[in-house]
Structure formats: C-alpha cells, structure tokens
Amino acid sequence: MRAKKKIALVGAGLIGRRHFDVMRKLDDDIIIDSIVDPSEAGQDFAKSRHIPWYPSIGDMILASSPDGAVLATPNQVHVVNGVECVNAGIPILVEKPIATSCSAAEELVKAAADNDVPVLVGHHRRHNPWICRAKEMIKSGGLGRVTSVHGSFWLYKPEDYFEQEWRRKDGGGPIMVNLIHDIDLLRYLCGEIEMVQAISSNKERGFETEDTAVAMIAFKSGALCSFNLSDTIVAPWSWELTASENPEYPATSQSCYMIGGTRASLSIPDMKVWSHGEHGHWKEPIHAKSVSEPKRDPLLLQMKHFIDVIRKEAEPIVSAQDAVESLRAVESIKLSALQNRPVYLHEKQT
Ligand SMILES: NC(=O)c1ccc[n+]([C@@H]2O[C@H](COP(=O)([O-])OP(=O)(O)OC[C@H]3O[C@@H](n4cnc5c(N)ncnc54)[C@H](O)[C@@H]3O)[C@@H](O)[C@H]2O)c1
C-alpha cells in the first residue's frame, strides 16, 4: 500500500466541511493533518473531530508539514492563503474563483511557478463523469463541428439568501457567483473564448448587482454561444437543478446546456445525443440516444485527483492559469454589460 498523504483543511465552513467528509471517505489515501480556521465554529469543528487545530496557516506550518492543503476560505483570501502555502512548498486545492480579479490572481500564479508547486482550482464540475463523457464526444468529433451552444442558469433564490449584504452589492450577483461555473465548463468543452457581449438587468430585485443577464460568446474555434442567466426565475433549467450534485437543491431530469454540432447535438446533463438517419438532415426523423454515465460525486473525484497531483502522477485538470481564464471571461461579461460593447478577452487595457 502506498503512503497516505497528509492534508490540511483551511476554512471549515460550508464547502470546507464537504471537503472534510470527502477526505474521510478517502482514508486509504488521506490523513487529515489539521484544520486551520480562526473562527470559534472552526475550532469547535476541529475539536469535535479530534483533529489538530490552528488559527492561521503560519501557525500550522510552524507545527506541521502537510503534503497538501485544501483552501476553502472566502474568495478575498485565496491569494494570500495560496501564496503562503506554495512558498512553503505545499501543493493546494483552492476553491473557485481563484481570486477576486485576474490581476489579483497573478501573484498566486507567479508564486506557484517560482516555487514549482502545483495548484489545482476547485472547479469541481469538470470532474463530473457526464462532463468527461461530453468532452470525449466533442473531442472525438462525435457531434461533428460544434457550431453553437445554448446555456441556461435559471432558478429562483430565496429572499433570505440576500440577507448577507455582499450578495446585493456589485460582484455578488449571478455573473460572478454562478456563471463562472458554467463558463469554466464551456471553456473546457468548447475551447478558449475570444469575445463576449452582454446585457444585464437588476430590475426585478433592484439591488446594486444584476439579477438577470444574457451573454453572447464567441469561441476561438468559431463556435458561438448564447447564455441566459437569472436568479429570479422559477424554472428547472440550471446545472444546480439538473445535475443533482448538491443535496440542498432537489434535482429535475431537465437539461441546462445544448451543444449543437454539424452531425448531432448533445443536451447536458440528461446526456441525450440527437441525430438524424443516414443523410443527416431535417427531412429525416431525428432520434435521441442516451450516452449517460453512472453518477459519481465530483468533489470526491476532484480530491482523488488532488492526491494524484501531489504524488506527481497527474497535472492539475484545472491549473491556476486555466482558472484565471474562466475568471477573465466572467470579468469581461460584466465589463461588456457595464460599457454596452463587445469585449475581447485579451484586448489591451487603455
Ligand atoms: N465548488 C463549489 O461548488 C463551491 C460551493 C460553495 C462555496 N465555494 C467556494 O468556497 C469558498 C468558501 O465558501 P463557503 O461558502 O464555504 O464560505 P463559509 O463562509 O461558509 O466558510 C469559510 C470559512 O473560512 C474561514 N476563514 C476565513 N478566513 C480564514 C483564513 N484566513 N484562514 C482560515 N480560515 C478562514 C471562516 O471562518 C469560515 O469557517 C469560497 O471561495 C466559495 O466561492 C465553492
């Protein structure tokens, strides 16, 4: 049996506790080294699980030497936490988004490169077997050339969600909080994004941040995408309400992405491939074939991958630089809506 890896959990809040449960399930590979969380709740959690507790990463590093750290802390401290770990030679799995802005992320990207320490970013949906299957199908040409994509994030958030002030302020809306997940998947499936053009509205809730937006996206491959998002619509068409990844959101059997190719189209996550008969056009009946994969927990698969990364048996599926590009796309969508113009992702800033 191979040696287990010692992992520190930094941030024992909502998602940190889910990572904790996942690590417990992987006890053939992982020893939970410590919990770092300055809050009383974090300390109590560590105590109740009989795990060494530290108030800061600095204290943890002085007392222990983990093989890796999971950073499940607020977005604002991802960079400072991440830099501290990689400077100490500790590989990290840092939650998404990698930083609050692309410029802020640069410090972490550089520190990781300078120290040659791997960073895996927690865009966990990429580890979902349905997404892996979709990626394979697209790559192998099973859909023909992908011409266009339609995506939807429509759901209704309850009023108490907005009790926390940051969720009503600029940056706390569905573009930065939710769309970043969808954009990361679309980049994974369809390649890099060249240009975006978006409009947004805050008419329904009247907060500083948007509640609804529509984005047009042009991929470098030439494929296009329309993405429609709102947290004020009662509807089943979002990843959250279709993928059954999180038990807090009761799932439906609907889909939220339609990937359209010249030979077939694929709806995700119901994983139906639609195609015609031998001539492949609209005058023939169109049929759906299911290409579904057995459901597995992507957080658990992500953690297994992190162990492989620590063992140097795999490169991170979502590297720091890769995650910066997803962040750049959502920042550009926000900018486009604000300035009412197309935004090229790598345009020179004036
Ligand atoms: N992958 C996903 O689907 C997903 C879901 C939810 C949240 N997230 C991300 O996970 C991160 C945490 O979100 P959350 O909802 O769990 O937040 P949370 O507020 O529930 O938990 C954050 C925890 O970090 C602790 N903390 C704060 N500063 C710290 C520091 N400097 N060092 C150590 N601990 C510190 C807090 O005390 C708290 O316990 C965010 O980046 C969020 O975007 C990802």
Q: How far is the CA of 12 from the centre of ligand 1 (A)?
A: 7
pLDDT higher than 90, residue 349: no
Task: Assess whether 152 and 104 both reside in one domain.
Answer: no
pLDDT digits (tens, 9 = 90+) for 207-221: 999 999 999 999 999
pLDDT higher than 70, residue 350: no
Out of 86, 117, 148, a domain closes at 117
Task: Assess whether 165 and 233 both reside in one domain.
Answer: yes
Q: How far is the CA of 75 from the centre of ligand 1 (A)?
A: 7
Q: The CATH number of the domain where 239 resides is what?
A: 3.30.360.10
- Say how far apart CA 48 and CA 115 lie, in whole Å: 35
Per-residue model confidence (pLDDT) at position 212: 98
* Residue % of the chain over a pLDDT of 70: 99
pLDDT digits (tens, 9 = 90+) for 48-65: 999 999 999 999 999 999
pLDDT digits (tens, 9 = 90+) for 7-29: 999 999 999 999 999 999 999 99
Out of 100, 117, 134, a domain closes at 117
Cβ(278)–Cβ(268) below 8 Å: no
Nearest residue (by CA) to ligand 1, atom 25, is: 11
- Say how far apart CA 157 and CA 341 lie, in whole Å: 29
| Tally of structural domains, the chain | 2
Residue 318 lies in a domain: no
Q: How far is the CA of 165 from the centre of ligand 1 (A)?
A: 16
Per-residue model confidence (pLDDT) at position 143: 98
Per-residue model confidence (pLDDT) at position 347: 84
Helix 78-87, helix 102-115: angle, nearest 10: 10
Residue 111 lies in a domain: yes
pLDDT digits (tens, 9 = 90+) for 85-115: 999 999 999 999 999 999 999 999 999 999 9
pLDDT digits (tens, 9 = 90+) for 232-263: 999 999 999 999 998 889 999 999 999 999 99
For residue 16, which atom of ligand 1 is closest to its CA?
16
Task: Assess whether 109 and 158 both reside in one domain.
Answer: no
Domain span holding position 106: 5-117
pLDDT digits (tens, 9 = 90+) for 66-90: 999 999 999 889 999 999 999 999 9
Q: The CATH number of the domain where 109 resides is what?
A: 3.40.50.720
CB atoms within 10 A of CB 210: 26
pLDDT higher than 90, residue 348: no
Residue 190 lies in a domain: yes
Return the closest-CA partner of residue 118 out of 126, 127, 109.
109
Task: Assess whether 77 and 224 both reside in one domain.
Answer: no
Q: b/e string for 55-75 if b means 16 or more Cβ within 10 A?
A: eebeebbeeeebbbbbbbbeb
Q: b/e string for 279-305 if b means 16 or more Cβ within 10 A?
A: eeeeeeeeeeeeeeeeeebbbbbbbbb
Out of 117, 134, 154, a domain closes at 117
Residue 307 lies in a domain: no
For residue 78, which atom of ligand 1 is closest to its CA?
41
Task: Assess whether 107 and 174 both reside in one domain.
Answer: no
Task: Assess whether 158 and 270 both reside in one domain.
Answer: yes
